[in-house]
């Protein structure tokens, strides 16, 4: 997915130009150059690979950061350009974090597959140790039936996930097409502005702004849905892995049943072999858990913190937005807060997955402090879940601070409501306001924004009995 931001750099430049407050030709040129650089990424430039995008974003931030922080319009626009750069880098870092989180989730589910093997082989060993094969054959038949039922269930679940992924991919393609159409329309109109009068140019600039906002909204929604697809893929892979494990276990169970029927006198030997296989599975679980914990503590934690740091940096960069750029600053801030919420929510999901894994190990009978580990992971999950929900609600609040009316305002309010729902909050109706009133965001204090929470991730670990 290409790096995109909700607020077009061209819009940042436009608003700064309208302020008429800056005397700095350098800051004006820096902001305009940042706008052109952003558009090369957002407009679908063939060279806008993640690595190239990151290079452009870092260079742009370095260029405009020295002009941000003062009171004039272009300096405020420069601050927003810094925020846009950080949002872009946060999006790229978030994509990297998705990949490492996905690896961690897959590793955890491989461990749970080995736990299934440990349970099965331990049962086989116990059954094979009984010299009278009757009870053992009955138990094996029951296990085979259970595994067959598991296979049918996993395949049904796998197909359901596959259907969801296909549906979401269709939505993503449609949203990206819409985003591209809107941006192209805005770009075509923008090319006409230099040839027109100031009045007509301002009118067309407003149309550019509308197209760009719509395009960025489509792009953001596509980015959000892609995150959902990335979350579904490990689940689909888990079901496929469990099918293979169950099929392998059925083969082993069938072989054991035949062994019991044909070699009653060798049952002790069979039990010993099963115990050996179970021990191998147990050793694999312990080894893989150690490797997973190290991976989560280093790569997963590092990737998540990198994305979160960039998102928070973007939020801080919007604090210089005053009356000239207040609306753009509010929407930029909302974007950064939403990305922060998504990053923290993904981080929370990783801890929840770890809690589920530890509970599964504890219930398998393998000795260890698994319950206390699960409790620690669950507590971390609850804390991060609350933080993510607050970020979504703060994003909604920031979006409303844009104070935009009309059709665009209605769309922003609809987006804010969706963000509130992600944060588990049902907002009161928005009061009408006097458009002559000054709504500059000079007095904003991020620490004062507190709301209730609840998000869509759930609250308790769900066991996997597969």
- What are the phi and psi torsion angles at 453 (to 5°)? -145, 165
pLDDT of residue 433: 38
Does the pLDDT of residue 243 top 70, yes or no? yes
Q: Please report, rounded to a whole number, the percentage of residues in the chain having pLDDT higher than 90.
A: 16
Encode pLDDT of 131-183 as tens digits: 677 777 888 888 889 888 989 998 998 899 899 999 999 999 998 899 899 88
- Whole-number Å distance between alpha carbons of 38 and 396: 24
> Mean pLDDT over residues 391-407, rounded?
80
The model's pTM? 0.54
In terms of residues, how long is the chain? 466
The more confidently predicted of residues 13 and 230 is 230
21 φ, ψ to 5°? Answer: -100, -15
Asked if residues 90 and 339 have their Cβ atoms less than 8 Å apart, the reply is yes
Q: What's residue 135's pLDDT?
A: 78
Q: What is the pLDDT of residue 14?
A: 40
Give dist(CA 252, CA 360) in Å, integer.
22
Inform me whether the pLDDT recorded for 421 exceeds 90: no
**Calpha distance 235→344 (Å, rounded):** 20
Q: SS3 sequence, 323-391?
A: CCCHHHHHHHHHHHHHHHHHHHHHHHHHHHHHHHHHHHHHHHCCCCCHHHHHHHHHHHHHHHHHHHHHH
pLDDT digits (tens, 9 = 90+) for 251-289: 988 888 887 777 666 667 777 888 888 899 999 999 999
pLDDT at site 1: 35
| Summary mean pLDDT of the chain | 75
Q: Residue 81 and residue 35: Cα distance in Å, rounded? A: 8
Q: How sure is the predictor about 226, in pLDDT bands with cuts at 50, 70 and 90? A: confident
Query: Who has greater pLDDT, 359 or 333?
Result: 359
Is the model more confident about 28 or about 446? Answer: 28
251 alpha carbon, distance to own chain's centre = 39
3-state secondary structure of 432: coil
The pLDDT, as a whole number, for residue 439 is: 34
pLDDT computed for residue 426 by the predictor: 52
Q: Name the nearest CA neighbour of 24 among 73, 61, 59.
A: 73
pLDDT of residue 369: 93
Give the domain ranges of the chain.
9-429
Distance CA 334, CA 8 (A): 14
Cα angle: 444, vertex 58, 307; to 5 degrees = 60
**Number of C-alpha atoms within 13 angstroms, CB side, residue 179?**
25
Q: SS3 of 54, please?
A: helix
DSSP 3-state of 443: coil
Element (H, E) at 293: helix 267-295
Joined tokens for residue 311? 């998102």
């Amino acid at each position: 997915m290409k790096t995109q931001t909700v607020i077009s750099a061209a819009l940042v430049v436009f608003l700064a130009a309208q302020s008429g407050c800056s005397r700095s030709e350098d800051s004006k040129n820096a902001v305009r150059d940042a706008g052109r650089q952003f558009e090369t990424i957002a407009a679908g430039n063939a060279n806008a690979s993640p690595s190239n995008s990151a290079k452009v974003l870092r260079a742009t931030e370095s260029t405009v950061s020295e002009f941000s922080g003062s009171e004039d319009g272009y300096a405020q626009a420069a601050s927003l350009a810094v925020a846009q750069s950080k949002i872009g880098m946060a999006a790229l870092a978030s994509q990297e974090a998705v990949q490492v989180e996905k690896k961690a989730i897959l590793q955890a589910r491989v461990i749970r597959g080995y736990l299934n093997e440990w349970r099965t082989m331990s049962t086989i060993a116990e059954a094979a140790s009984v010299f009278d094969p009757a009870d053992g054959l009955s138990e094996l038949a029951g296990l085979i039936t259970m595994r067959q039922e598991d296979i049918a269930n996993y395949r049904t679940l796998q197909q359901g996930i596959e259907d969801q992924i296909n549906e979401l991919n269709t939505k993503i393609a449609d949203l990206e097409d819409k985003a591209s159409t809107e941006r192209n329309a805005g770009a075509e109109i923008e090319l006409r502005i230099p040839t027109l009068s100031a009045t007509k140019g301002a009118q067309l600039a407003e149309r550019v702004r509308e197209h760009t906002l719509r395009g960025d909204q489509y792009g953001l929604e596509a980015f959000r849905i892609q995150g959902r697809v990335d979350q579904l893929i490990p689940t689909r892979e888990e079901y496929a892995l469990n099918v293979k494990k169950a099929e392998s276990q059925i083969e082993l169970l069938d072989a054991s049943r035949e062994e019991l029927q044909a070699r009653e006198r060798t049952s002790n030997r069979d039990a010993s072999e099963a115990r050996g296989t179970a021990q191998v599975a147990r050793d694999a679980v312990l080894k893989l858990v150690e490797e997973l914990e190290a991976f989560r503590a280093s790569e997963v934690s590092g990737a998540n913190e990198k994305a979160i740091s960039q998102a928070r940096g973007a939020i801080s960069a919007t604090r210089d937005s005053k009356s000239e750029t207040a609306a753009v600053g509010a929407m930029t801030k909302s974007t950064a807060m939403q990305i922060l919420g998504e990053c923290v929510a993904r981080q929370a999901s990783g801890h929840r997955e770890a809690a589920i894994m530890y509970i599964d190990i504890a219930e398998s009978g393998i000795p260890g402090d698994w319950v206390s580990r699960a409790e620690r992971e669950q507590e971390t999950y609850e804390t991060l879940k609350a933080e993510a929900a607050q970020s979504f609600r703060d994003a909604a609040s920031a979006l409303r601070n844009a104070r935009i009316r009309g059709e665009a305002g209605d769309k922003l309010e609809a987006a804010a409501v969706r963000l509130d729902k992600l944060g588990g909050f049902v907002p009161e109706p928005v009061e009408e306001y006097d458009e002559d009133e000054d709504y500059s965001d000079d007095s904003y204090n991020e620490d004062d924004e507190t709301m209730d929470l609840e998000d869509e991730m759930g609250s308790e670990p769900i066991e996997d009995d597969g």
